[in-house]
């Protein structure tokens, strides 16, 4: 008899990394493993979980939907769960974002936004306006287009030949200011590079893509709101579309429903995924303005957006997303978020003074600590040591190189979150 296929785990090297742990079940903020461990999921399983694992309300909604309609092709057909989701999302997003295009995950939501931006100008007869601008330290996913707009990193290095060229401009990484200034006295001079680029080449540029206010995988870098506002102003001035990749920041992560809301910025395109289904189902969504969508409504068939995935608008994913948004309406979700933010702020304030801590950063439920080590970056030798230390003490944290961050499900209890920070404290004392 043939043996079972070996699972090839993501971001995992079988020669170097520990054997994956078998998870039997999960509940709230906890994972329960086969070998009897109870682990706090302090990163919401790659930032997707909001209201706790195996949330009974979302589970019931998915089960109910599965008995009615599991999936139907979304070209030429629609269904109640998708229509309901479009209506529910409309309530939360800024007024001008009037259309939603469903896809499969964060990367495909980004691919859709990039392709829409390029085809938008083509449909208007401005095919030369097709270049993309992205930020240093950005991360937008692992598919080829998303990888192209992501900054160079160990994730992209082997695929240099597959990445199409984009313009890369400074981000507002205040701890390592790209223009050598101090946040307290600066005037967002880091945005000048974008300003100059758009002044010079604006006629050829279709879009600027940003992770609004918080660059996640690039090191949990928090931007001042002025930076995002400046990017918006510059895009408007040069008739360039602003794509806000809210895949990480959406659904309350930053303290508001969307990071753009914190800065009072309305993008032309917005990418959503991760928290969209409360962590239950893979789903992406790209929202856009009416002005943008109108350019695709045309007598010319070649103006059609020829893009779609087999599972686009999957009914089970829509049902999970609807239940997720219903929880936002019925339960004190933003109080839970505020409670997490408060503990993050308190604990980071204590860590800030330590010699081993270079910087602390926070935005809502995300708290990050940039450690002082010799080899910074994702491949820092400190990363696997920290990971093992945390896991050995019942806490799942996956440092981004020398940046340790906490990003818990909103249902984490205060004592559980304090426990996570206690373990981080111990790691700093023991390993650095």
Ligand X SMILES: Cc1ncc(COP(=O)(O)O)c(C=O)c1O
Restricting to residues 181-220, name those near ligand X by CB under 6 A. Answer: 211, 216-217
Site for ligand X in 89-148 (CB under 6 A): 105-107, 110, 139-141
Taking the complex as a whole, the smallest distance from the CB of residue 136 to ligand X amounts, in Å, to 14
Q: In angstroms, give the least distance from the CB of 287 to ligand X.
A: 14
We find the least distance from the C-beta atom of residue 246 to ligand X, in angstroms, to be 8
Nearer Cβ to ligand X (142/195): 142
Number of residues that bind ligand X (CB under 6 A): 14
CB of 267 closer than 8 Å to CB of 316:
no
Block residue for tokens 């700093």: 428
Residue from 50, 149, 30 nearest 394 by CA = 30
Q: How far is the CB of 210 from ligand X (least distance, A)?
A: 9
Query: Toward ligand X, which CB reaches closer, 44 or 362?
Result: 44
Nearest to 324 by CA among 276, 269, 361: 276
Q: Which of 273, 277, 324, 362 binds ligand X (CB under 6 A)?
A: 273
Q: Which residue is nearest to ligand X (CB)?
A: 106
CA dist 325 and 58 (Å) reads 10
Token representation of residue 93: 């997003």
In the bound complex, what is the minimum distance in angstroms from residue 104's beta carbon to ligand X? 8
Q: How far is CA 86 from the centre of its chain?
A: 20
- Specify the residue, 141 or 367, whose C-beta has the smaller distance to ligand X: 141
Q: Name 400's bridge partners.
A: 403
Nearer to ligand X, 216 or 278 (CB): 216
Residues in the chain: 432
Nearer to ligand X, 145 or 216 (CB): 216
What is the C-alpha to C-alpha distance for residues 133 and 196, in angstroms, rounded to an integer? 12
The 3-class SS string of 12-54 reads CCCCCCCCCCCEEEEEECEEEECCCCEEEECCHHHHCCCCCEC
What is the closest distance, in whole angstroms, from the C-beta atom of residue 355 to ligand X in the complex? 31
In the complex, the smallest distance separating the C-beta of residue 108 from ligand X, rounded to whole angstroms, is 7
In sequence order, which residues have a C-beta less than 8 Å from that of residue 173 and are 6 or more positions away?
Answer: 136, 137, 215, 219, 221
Nearer to ligand X, 211 or 359 (CB): 211
**Which residue, 193 or 215, is less far from ligand X as judged by CB?**
215
Give yes or no for a contact between 246 and 212, defined as CB atoms under 8 angstroms apart: yes
Please say which residue, 281 or 333, places its beta carbon nearer to ligand X.
281
SS3 for 252-294 is: CCCCCCCHHHHCCCCCCEEEECHHHHCCCCCCEEEEEEHHHHH
What character string, x for contact with ligand X (CB under 6 A) and - otherwise, covers 223-252?
Answer: ----------------------x-xx----
Least distance in Å: CB of 404 to ligand X?
17
Binding site for ligand X (CB under 6 A): 105-107, 110, 139-141, 211, 216-217, 245, 247-248, 273
């Amino acid at each position: 008899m043939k043996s079972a296929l070996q699972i090839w785990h993501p971001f995992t090297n079988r020669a170097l990394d520990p054997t994956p742990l078998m998870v039997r079940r999960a509940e709230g903020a906890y994972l329960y493993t086969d070998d009897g461990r109870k682990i706090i999921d302090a990163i919401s399983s790659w930032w997707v979980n909001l209201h706790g694992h195996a949330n009974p309300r979302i589970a019931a909604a998915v089960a109910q939907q599965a008995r009615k309609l599991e999936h139907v092709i979304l070209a030429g057909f629609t269904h109640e769960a998708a229509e309901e989701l479009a209506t529910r999302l409309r309530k939360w997003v800024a007024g001008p974002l009037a259309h939603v295009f469903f896809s499969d995950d964060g990367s495909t939501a980004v691919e859709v936004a990039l392709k829409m931006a390029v085809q938008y100008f083509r449909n208007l007869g401005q095919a030369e306006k097709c270049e993309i601008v992205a930020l240093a330290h950005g991360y937008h996913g692992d598919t080829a287009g998303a990888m192209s707009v992501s900054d160079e990193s160990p994730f992209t290095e082997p695929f240099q030949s597959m990445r199409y060229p984009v313009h890369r401009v400074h981000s507002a990484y205040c701890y390592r200011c790209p223009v050598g200034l101090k946040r307290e006295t600066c005037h967002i001079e880091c945005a000048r590079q974008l300003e100059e680029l758009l002044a010079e080449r604006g006629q050829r540029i279709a879009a600027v893509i940003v992770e609004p206010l918080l660059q996640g995988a690039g090191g949990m870098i928090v931007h001042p709101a002025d930076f995002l506002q400046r990017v918006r102003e510059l895009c408007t001035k040069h008739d360039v579309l602003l794509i806000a990749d809210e895949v990480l920041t959406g659904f309350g992560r930053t303290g508001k429903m969307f990071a753009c809301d914190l800065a009072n910025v309305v993008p032309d395109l917005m990418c959503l995924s991760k928290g969209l289904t409360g962590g239950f189902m893979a789903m992406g969504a790209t929202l856009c303005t009416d002005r943008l969508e109108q350019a695709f409504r045309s007598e010319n068939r070649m103006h059609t957006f020829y893009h779609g995935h087999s599972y686009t608008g999957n009914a089970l994913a829509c049902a999970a997303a609807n239940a997720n948004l219903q929880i936002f309406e019925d339960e004190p979700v933003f109080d839970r978020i505020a409670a997490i933010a408060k503990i993050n702020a308190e604990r980071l304030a204590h860590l800030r003074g330590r010699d081993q801590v270079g910087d602390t950063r926070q935005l809502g439920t995300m708290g990050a600590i940039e450690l002082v080590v010799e080899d910074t970056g994702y491949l820092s030798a400190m990363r696997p040591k920290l990971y093992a230390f945390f896991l050995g003490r019942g806490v799942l944290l996956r440092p981004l190189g020398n940046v340790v961050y906490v990003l818990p499900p909103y249902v984490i209890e205060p004592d559980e979150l304090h426990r996570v920070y206690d373990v981080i404290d111990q790691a700093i004392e023991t390993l650095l």
